[in-house]
Structure formats: C-alpha cells, structure tokens
Homo-oligomer: A and B are copies of this chain.
Amino acid sequence: MLTAAPRQAKQRPTISDVARLAGVSIATVSRVVNETAPVSDEVGERVRSAIELLGYTPHVAARNLAGGRTATIGLLLPELSSSFFTPLLRGVEAAVRQTDYDLLIYANPRTSQGYDTQRRQPIGVHNADGMLIFSTTLEDQEISRNWEHGFPMVLLHRLPPRGVNVPSVLFDNRSGARLAIHHLISVHNRRRIVFLHGPLGNQESDEREIGYREALQQQGIAFDPALVRRGGFSESGGYQAVQELLREGVAFDAIFSGDDEAAVGVLAALREAGRRVPAEVAVVGFDDLPVAQHLTPPLTTLRAPIEQAGYLAATGLFTLLASGEADAQTVLPVELVIRQSCGCAPPSP
C-alpha cells in the first residue's frame, strides 16, 4: 500500500508574516526572537503572541546565510561498524546538547570514489562552524587547508600533521600498552607476547606498539618482529591473525590485542584451535568495550575513556569556537582492568 502527502500544505510562516501580524518591522521580530536588542515590553509581547499564533520557526538556511553562522558542528567518522563509536557518539552528543549547536555526522567518507566537485569536502566551512575529525577520516592535506582557512577543528585519536597546531584528544596509548605488557611479564611470567597492530596508519596503534617495545626492553626481553601482526581493529582481523600465527607455528604464550573487537576474534580462534586461555595463552585487549566483560574468559583489557574523549573533543571545539583558542593536546589516561583472560583469578564471590 502506498501513501502520499496530504493536499498541498499551507506555506510555512516567515518572519515577514510575523511582523505583519504584530504590526512591526521584521527587524523587530528578529530582535525579540534572538534577544539581541531591547524591545519594549508591549511590542515584545505582541510579537511573541504572533509567533505563537503562526507557529513560526526561523528558517535556518536564511539565518545561516545572513548571520554567517551555521550553528552546526560536523563529526567525521570512519564506518560506523564498530561498537566503539557508541560511547564516542554519546560523549559528543552530550556536549552538543549543552549548546545550541546541531550535529552533522558523516561516516566513511573515504569510501567515496573519485571527486565530485560539489562534495569533495563532506563537511567544511560551507555547512558547519567547526568539526571533529576522528583518526584518519580526513587527509592531512585537507586538515592543513582547513587550518589555514581558520576553520575550527578538533582531532580525535590522532595528532595533527606537522606544523599544524590543531587541538587533539588522545589516549595515553603508550603507557597503557606498557601497563599491559608489564603485567603479562611480571605477574604471569609470559615471554612470547604477540602484539596485534590496528589498521595501517593508525597512530594510536603505533603508540601502543612503542609502549609494547619499551616494556619488553625494560624487562630485558628481545623484540621479535614475528610476534607483531596486523589485527585491524576488527573481530575478523584478530581471528585471522591468530590463525596465521598458528599456521606458521610461531610460539607464543600471550597476545596483546590491538583492541577489544580484535580480541573477540582472538579468543574465538584460540578456542577453535584448542588453546586454553589463559593457561596456555594469556590475552589482553584495549578499550574495555561493553562486550569485554562478557567474553569467555572475561577479558582483561585497558579501559579507555571513550565517552569522555568524545565529550572533551566536542567541548574543546566549542571553546575554540567561542574564544578562538583551546588546549592543544589532551591526553587521557588509560587504566588496566584485570579480569581473567590474563591469568588472574576470578574475584571470589
């Protein structure tokens, strides 16, 4: 069954309609709507009731055009496939809601093949007052260009390109990784620890690898390149990486997974192969996604304050918007959450 719109809709009221009904000029209406200049009580009241009567809502496009402000911020995300983005979005949303800004979201802009002149930049000066850029969703070159044009941005999970001092919000990935590795080594006496790297070019993952190496070094364990694999921040990536390791016959007694999603795949692959976790192989993740505590065994992981990161990035952007400046870098601490996949005992009930 089909459905269609009802008879031609009545025209929506404009500021002129309100002005006419209230017997004032449109300038006055604008002033009472925006509270941008004093208006006598009587006139104000008249305007307000005209607005009420007509059900008037300002037309944002007109407003943007005239005011040079879109009252919108953009958020650039890679694909929304991961549950990682739920808390992130929540944080951003919470910050946005405290303002009068709108939130425009773009996912996976990199998939777009080729250039369409009209849309080469999904979000930019033309449709937002500022934007939040997650990881590598916008090329360095574009970031620089925006920066030079004075377009406010805050980076999430990545550092700015060289020479471009864009504020960014990051996790302390290096310390986090060190924490995990030290725990595996000193508490559980593991020596052959696999590190699962994230997607190519992922800075966070690079940092984690550095932490991993630092920890090994501090503990006097030689770095073995054969133990570093690409897990891709996805369940299938983790799964495949472990299968590969197994197929190649590489010896290992622990896996530090690039993130929790990959850890899900890691656990599945190990289970299928009959390797007991944590007895034979200890596993540690990163992020502490909701799923981590429900895995078998419950996943020991590094808790990243994802929601907070989203919130801080957004509030940082608003600060930037309001004052023209903001903290250049915010590094959020990461905490080791001990469950059972690392070999620690379950809490006594």
Contact = CB atoms under 8 A, between A and B. Distances in A.
Nearest to A33: B118
Interface string A166-208: 1100000000000000000000000000000000000000000
B126 A325 contact: no
B325 A3 contact: yes
A60 B103 contact: no
A328 B1 contact: yes
A102 interface: yes
Contact of A326 (B3, B33, B326): B3
A124 interface: yes
Interface in A1-36: 1-6, 8-10, 12, 33
Contact of A294 (B80, B89, B296, B325): B296
A264 B290 CA distance: 11
B106 A166 contact: no
What's the interface size class on A, roughly? Answer: 35 or more
Contacts of A1: 327-329
A335 interface: no
A127 B102 contact: yes
A120 interface: yes
A302 B284 CA distance: 31
A87 to B, nearest CB: 9
A75 to B, nearest CB: 9
Interface stretch (A51-59, A211-219, A224-232, A245-253): A51-59
A70 B80 contact: no
A305 B80 CA distance: 16
Contacts of A104: 72, 102-105
